[in-house]
Amino acid sequence: MVPSNPADAKGLLKSAIRDENPVIFMESEQMYGFKGMVPEGEYTIPIGKADVVKLGSDVTIVSFGKMMLRCHEAVAALEAEGISVELIDLRTVRPIDYDTVIESVKKTNRLVIVEEAWPLASISSEVSHIVQKRAFDHLDAPVHRVTSMDTSLPYASTFVDAYLPSVERIVKASKSVLYRN
């Protein structure tokens, strides 16, 4: 489980505690100060069910965890240019809700996956594989992945921004699947 906001953190953590199987709950320390609405009372989120955060028609962007914050910024930038984005938060990466992603791809015919991981052996490579396997005929462009750079994380803070997926890279990837030659 990889929550991207306080409400999901509460709902997923309660589901994890109640699940009879072992569950890994991954959270970013950088998001500890992040504020947002949290439902009061009993609130759980089903394990393995993605959230369609925003409906759109031109391109599907899929992400999870703190990269969702960058995706929200990218969606705003794309929509300012008239590009309609469907944004999906996976919430859990094992199991992955492939059905929600594939239904979205069948509608938009384009997919960009954003994650804070190396490109080799990543969640984005697995999602790409399943989408091309189950929805290849619906794709109007190759799946584009926006990942961390294929190098070790630099210690200098000036290089961290260049290492991680950025709003600019997400916008560029989204446009590349829309305007291919």
Q: Which domain holds residue 66?
A: 51-178
Q: What is the DSSP letter of 137?
A: G
Alpha-carbon dihedral angle through residues 151, 157, 162, 165, given to the nearest 10 degrees:
90
In-domain check, residue 79: yes
Sign of CA dihedral 134, 63, 27, 155: positive
In-domain check, residue 75: yes
What is the reported pTM? 0.94
How wide is the angle at C-alpha 56 spanned by C-alphas 28 and 94, nearest 5°?
Answer: 40
> What is the length of the chain?
181
pLDDT in tens, 40-80: 999 999 999 999 999 999 999 999 999 999 999 999 999 99
Confidence of residue 28 (pLDDT cuts 50, 70, 90): confident
In-domain check, residue 127: yes
Peptide bond into 165 cis (omega under 30): no
Q: What is the pLDDT of residue 181?
A: 45
In-domain check, residue 3: no
Whichever domain contains 155, its CATH number is 3.40.50.920
Of 170, 161, 4, the residue nearest 74 (C-alpha) = 170
How wide is the angle at C-alpha 15 spanned by C-alphas 36 and 37, nearest 5°?
Answer: 10
* Residue 139 one-letter amino acid: L
In-domain check, residue 41: no
In-domain check, residue 67: yes
Give the whole-angstrom CA distance, residue 17 versus residue 13: 6
Q: What is the pLDDT of residue 33?
A: 80
Of 142, 117, 146, the residue nearest 131 (C-alpha) = 142
pLDDT in tens, 135-162: 999 999 999 999 999 988 888 888 888 8
The residues with which 37 forms a beta bridge, in sequence order, are: none
Alpha-carbon dihedral angle through residues 101, 92, 44, 38, given to the nearest 10 degrees:
-90
Number of domains in the chain: 1
Token pair recorded at residue 39? 């439902």
